[in-house]
Structure 1
């Protein structure tokens, strides 16, 4: 089996942990597996280096300085592997076998990186490459970086291009947990999680796997997250299932928009829970929710709008802070699902501006880490779908 093992900063945070990492790699090699290692900077080395740059450094100099964290880590891990009789070699920018290349815009040059990775993979039966994560070579050969979580991106990208069977992310939690184990008592491991679920968690602060890394996962590549104390690269942890594809979709049936108005609704704790619970107890599914300072809007199937209105009206009558509920019928929704919306400046404009140019009124926009839902009049649905497909996919 061919495995890309990525060791995070915590898992290499001390000499003892480097030894533990080397043991797990050596055991996998001894079992006959092909292993490539991606290493992050040890502990908080990158942050510490950044804190020491108190002067106005050029970007190229800054990249060279922060690269020293990863450069040190691969040397430590290579040496620990050599001490265990493993034929290992550290690989960093400038090395003849270095795989990750960026273009003039700082984005990964997919074709060049794929070609170099395939060449590197041909040697995995004889050597364990220990590769600096987070780093890349620019078009002129200088050091560039892949941004926060770049080591995760390195690992999953190399896993895909090297035709690996699995990428194993070694970190300081036993896979994905039901909550932050440092905060929540009784947090437990989740055996499986989808790419969509993990991406949303990662965009909202869960430090498990960088969202940018998941864009390189496909159905043929297994990805797993394990704890650095686990000791076995080939078992345990959380399996990340599926793949994420950009998609534009239009709901087939019309929606109704139910808006509950009230004084400073957003500042009242429990209002959303109260209204949502009332709808749920009446077996009314909510397609989307949008909130403002003085209102909260629920989108439901138009066929049950009247029943939903009665449910919400009872809540309005029973709460002095709520004033009314109104209903608008014949609403369509077009959804755009994409991998890294928060990291793509102007993405909403690419969807909404062409609609304004076509004189299509946008009733509402509801966005998340991985999707944008645009609500328009039912009569405008086909034109909206056509415009979004033409402009967003271009």
Structure 2
């Protein structure tokens, strides 16, 4: 049995016209011989009647706090409504359809309401419907605990649902439909010359998502990578082939032969709302450990870390600044804060061991007098901390320096 999982985001199912485009995408897959499992998000975006954020505001607008359990029960309704509406559109075109909640689809989660992790996916019910040649629609973003409590999977949860179903069903691929033609070399709102990436490997996409690019949720990428299921990012409103996320290997060759790009870099990303923290540490090393333990206990994640004998420099997300300062003041350490920073990151699995990459970064930014405040790197990334006012220019300069606009 050839199986395809197709996920449609909120903008794809927001109107009758858009839903008809969705029906056509599903019909195309059926014509190609696939049994189709469809995952849907809630219809529209914040402000639209059944969007997740709109539903959430119904509860949070009350005088009393809403429990996370009740909030999950409410927010899960958006995807259920979307499933039923799309099912009626498909039935109107003559298709046999079965719409399921996450619970009915066999998605078992832990009991972390609001951000649950999937523990397992039972596939018997879905397979039985597919064997009857039915299109199965699953409400994304949700599952249930062993006790039958409804849970939601956090931001990007419908992507996670689609990837998990793809792996559990051993699907040929998972198609993620949105309102863009694919993953691009940079944010096109910042870099007019940004190009669609035809193929990209799992690790590069994971790094892009982690470093600020709004492409697909990192958890969905991890799940698909684990199951070696190709992910395709496509546009509901066009016939563009989109971006394929895969291992980029064919017949045992190297990851950079065959279809993978020969570009040194894959993309440039950036993340705003970063705060740089500098500690003057003259106390014993034990105090360093205590401060770091307190930061971890407060769920304050530190990044771009440079530790010296007398000074520790790192970054945090700006919304965590108040909590950080309370901890530092409690430990009576001297510190300074630099707000309004951005982390600009180049992403590319081929940069490992290649001489001159950092030199190109430094030269490109220095010639426009953009100060690099800190750097960090991994096997597939180099990140530079810059002032927020310089971030967009830095992204454009690096995009041009590494010729990403000429793919």
Task: Please report the TM-score for the alignment, with normalisation by the length of structure 2.
Answer: 0.57
Partner of 1:237: 242
Unaligned stretches of 5+ in structure 2?
Answer: 46-50, 249-306, 312-335, 345-353, 382-407
Alignment of 1:216-235 (within 5 A): 216-218=223-225, 220-231=228-239
Quote the residue 1:81 is aligned against. Answer: 90
Structure 1 residue 230 displacement after superposition: 2.4
Distance 1:104 1:10 in 2: 29
1:52 maps to what in 2? Answer: 58
Match of 1:121 in 2: 127
Instruction: Using the TM superposition, name which of 213-222 and 139-148 deviates more.
Output: 213-222
Change in CA separation of 1:104 and 1:63 when aligned onto 2, cut-off 3 Å:
closer
Aligned-pair CA distance for 1:60: 1.6
Change over 3 Å in CA distance of 1:109–1:240 after alignment to 2: closer
Contact preservation (8 Å) 1:26, 1:81: no
Other structure's SS at 1:236 match? coil
Deviates most, 12-21 or 151-160: 12-21
Alpha-carbon separation, structure 2, partners of 1:129 and 1:136: 16
The structure number with the bigger radius of gyration is 1
Deviation at 1:78, TM superposition (A): 0.6
CA offset digits 1:335-378 (Å, max 9, x no partner): xxxxxxxxxxxxxxxxxxxxxxxxxxxxxx9577999xxxxxxx
Aligned to 1:167: 174
Tell me the distance in 2 between the aligned counterparts of 1:143 and 1:109.
Answer: 12
Q: Which runs of 4+ in 1 moved over 4 A?
A: 282-287, 365-371
Encode CA deviations 1:133-169: one digit per residue, 9 max, x unaligned: 1011122112100000000000011100101000000
Taking the aligned partners of 2:43 and 2:101, their CA distance within structure 1 comes to: 15
Give 1:192 deviation, angstroms.
0.9
- The answer to whether the 8 Å contact 1:200/1:369 transfers is no
Q: Cα–Cα, structure 1 residues 94 and 100, in superposed 2: closer, same or farther, change >3 Å?
A: closer
In structure 2, C-alpha distance between the alignment counterparts of 1:283 and 1:94, rounded to whole Å: 52
Corresponding residue for residue 26 of structure 2: 25
RMSD: 3.8
* TM-score (normalizing by structure 1): 0.59
Partner of 1:8: 9
Which stretches in structure 1 are left out of the alignment for 5+ residues? Answer: 244-256, 273-281, 290-297, 299-314, 322-364, 372-394
Q: Which of 70, 80, 87 is equivalent to 1:71?
A: 80
Q: Quote the offset at 1:27 in angstroms.
A: 2.7
In structure 2, the CA distance between the partners of 1:73 and 1:105, relative to structure 1 (3 Å rule), is: closer
In the TM superposition, residue 47 of structure 1 has moved relative to its aligned partner by: 1.3
Instruction: Give the secondary-structure state (helix, strand or coil) at the position aligned to 1:3.
Output: strand
Paired with 1:138 and 1:368, the residues of 2 have a C-alpha distance of 37
Q: Which secondary structure state, in structure 2, belongs to the residue aligned with residue 101 of structure 1?
A: strand
Q: How does 1:177-196 map to 2 (within 5 A)?
A: 177-196=184-203
Contact 2:4 2:29 (C-alpha < 8 Å) held by counterparts: no
Q: Check if 1:99 corresponds to 2:100.
A: no
Secondary structure of 1:38's counterpart equals strand
Count of matched residue positions in the alignment of Structure 1 and Structure 2: 263
Which whole-Å deviations, capped at 9, do the CAs of 1:301-355 have from their partners, x for residues lacking one?
xxxxxxxxxxxxxx9xxx9x9xxxxxxxxxxxxxxxxxxxxxxxxxxxxxxxxxx
* 8 A contact 1:118–1:162 mirrored in 2: no
CA apart distance, 1:285: 6.7
Query: 1:181, CA displacement in angstroms?
Result: 2.9
